[in-house]
Amino acid sequence: MRRAALALLLSLAGAALAADYAGPLFDAHLHYNEEAWNGKSGPHPPADAVARMQRNGVRAILSNSRPNDGTHTLAGSPEARRAGVAVVPFVRLYRNRADYDNWFREETIYAMVQSELARGTAAGPYRGIGEFHLYDSANANGPVARKLMALAEEKQLAVLAHVDDTAIDLLMANTPSKGQKVRLVWAHTGIGGTPAARVDQLLARYPGLLGELSYRPGLTCDAGKLCPEWRALLLKYPGRFVVGSDTWVNQRWESYDATMRGYRTWLGDLPADVARKIAWDNAASLFGTKQP
């Protein structure tokens, strides 16, 4: 009996040490695209999308969508307001799929961004531009890409960019401060597996660079816990990482619970203050979001 009690106590202590992160989450990479819900039909109307956030403790979202109507819908949705989910709107550069490969040189997209910025959303002014993609890093020097980076710095808009490490340097070079002032959320922090040492170098070089960690290769190892190299990087730069769902296809909405559970597992592997920063504080302080 006594031995059983001791064993129970030890197993409870072990569970406490390995407890998942239980605080609020800021989903810093969310899409509400037209196939999720186009305003009339779709598997994930606002009530469904917001319920997924709510049951996962997601209290704020960086929202963008193709086209921007989805973000307008969430920003004005009574469901999000009732659930206490803060919507931080970003202007998406894509009106349709064809824009993915053309936005960096397409003047009509620059004009669309200007008119969206002037319009704002029901949740307030836009706070950033993106997500945009560069499949060839050299296109970071396209005429519209250059103008958008300069605009972001000038208007203090953050940027959400799915690019490689070479493009980070090129995009930063296209701002008036050469990357010393603009805030850039690096979607996936190098989805092609940019080495941790190179990520470290870029974080050191650009004070406004933050790494978003969805789909990041090499981040987690056994049992969904952090790999040693990435754990060390997160501990070295606790103020520079955020997490996101990247609901780029409906499948990601369907697995939203699993994605957030995955984050809570490895966040639980970090000191409590560091976990809280990556889960919430870093994104919340970037956008001045109220504590839930």
Binding site for Zn ion (CB under 5 A): 131, 246, 248
Q: Quick one: 201 or 250, whose CB is closer to Zn ion?
A: 250
Report CA 52 to chain centroid distance, whole Å: 16
For the CB of residue 90, give the shortest distance to Zn ion in the complex, in Å.
11
Q: How far apart are CA 52 and CA 85, in angstroms?
A: 11
Q: Quick one: 179 or 244, whose CB is closer to Zn ion?
A: 244
Residue nearest Zn ion by beta-carbon distance? 246
Residue listed under structure tokens 């969805």:
214
Q: Quick one: 100 or 225, whose CB is closer to Zn ion?
A: 100
Q: How far apart are CA 211 and CA 215, in angstroms?
A: 12
Q: What is the sign, positive or negative, of the torsion defined by CA atoms of 197, 200, 205, 208?
A: positive
For the CB of residue 197, give the shortest distance to Zn ion in the complex, in Å.
25
Q: How far apart are CA 65 and CA 39, in angstroms?
A: 13
For the CB of residue 31, give the shortest distance to Zn ion in the complex, in Å.
6
For the CB of residue 133, give the shortest distance to Zn ion in the complex, in Å.
8
> Count of CB atoms within 10 A of residue 176's CB?
12
Query: Nearest 10 degrees: CA dihedral of 148, 185, 47, 74?
Result: -30
Q: Quick one: 33 or 275, whose CB is closer to Zn ion?
A: 33
Q: Quick one: 214 or 282, whose CB is closer to Zn ion?
A: 214
DSSP state letter for 278: I
Contact 28, 283 (CB under 8 A): yes
For the CB of residue 130, give the shortest distance to Zn ion in the complex, in Å.
9
